[in-house]
Amino acid sequence: MRDKGEYLFTSESVSEGHPDKVADRISDTVLDAYLSADPYSRVACETLVTTNRVVLAGETRGPGSVTPDLLMHLTRMAIRDIGYEQEGFHWQNASVECHLHAQSAHIAQGVDAAGNKDEGAGDQGIMFGYACTETPELMPAPLYYAHLILRRIAEMRRAGDVAVAGLLPDAKSQVTLRYVDGKPVGATSVVVSTQHEERLDQAEIKRMIRPIIESSLPKGWMCPDNELYVNPTGTFVIGGPDGDCGLTGRKIIVDTYGGAAPHGGGAFSGKDPTKVDRSAAYAARYVAKNVVASGLADKCTIQVSYAIGVSKPLSVYFDLHGTGRDVDEVKLAKVMDGLMNLSPRGIREHLHLNRPIYAVTSAYGHFGRTPDLEKGTFTWEKTDLAEEIRRAFNR
Which tens digits make up the pLDDT trace of 13-43?
999 999 999 999 999 999 999 999 999 999 9
With a cut of 90, say whether residue 265 has pLDDT above it: no
Q: Please report the pLDDT score of residue 68 as a whole number.
A: 97
> In the prediction, which pLDDT does 112 show?
61
Can you give the pLDDT at residue 118?
64
Give the pLDDT score at 121. Answer: 82
Residue 232 has a pLDDT of 95
Give the burial string for 8-24 (b: 16+ CB within 10 Å, else e). ebbbbbbbbbbbbbbbb
Q: What is the pLDDT of residues 340-390, one digit of tens each?
A: 999 999 999 999 999 999 999 999 999 999 999 899 999 999 999 999 999
CB 276 within 8 A of CB 344: yes
Q: To 5 degrees, how large is the angle CA 109–CA 110–CA 116?
A: 90
Q: Confirm if 171 and 17 have CB atoms less than 8 A apart.
A: yes
Known binding-site residues for Mg(2+) equal 20
Residues placed in the known binding site: 18, 20, 46, 59, 103, 170-172, 244, 250-251, 267, 271, 275
- The pLDDT of 195-212, averaged and rounded, is 97
Distance CA 79, CA 295 (A): 42
The answer for residues whose C-beta is within 8 angstroms of residue 230's C-beta and 6 or more apart is 191, 192, 193, 194, 202, 205, 206, 209, 210
* Average pLDDT across the chain, whole number: 94
| Domains contained in the chain, CATH given | 6-14+140-239 (3.30.300.10), 19-111 (3.30.300.10), 125-133+249-392 (3.30.300.10)
Q: Looking at residue 114, what DSSP letter applies?
A: B
- Extract the annotated binding site for K(+): 46
Give the ranges where 294-322 is alpha helix by DSSP (H).
none
Q: Hey, what amino acid is at 263?
A: H
Query: How confident is the model at residue 111, as a pLDDT?
Result: 65
The pLDDT score that the predictor gives to residue 115 is: 54
pLDDT tens-digit map of 237-258: 999 999 999 999 999 999 999 9
Q: How many CB atoms lie within 10 A of CB 310?
A: 16
Q: Please tell me the distance from the alpha carbon of residue 108 to that of residue 117, in angstroms, as a whole number.
A: 13
Closest to 149 measured CA to CA, from 249, 253, 222: 222
Binding residues for L-methionine: 59, 103, 244, 275
Which of 187, 190, 191, 179 is closest to 134 using CA atoms?
179
H/E segment holding residue 304: strand 299-306
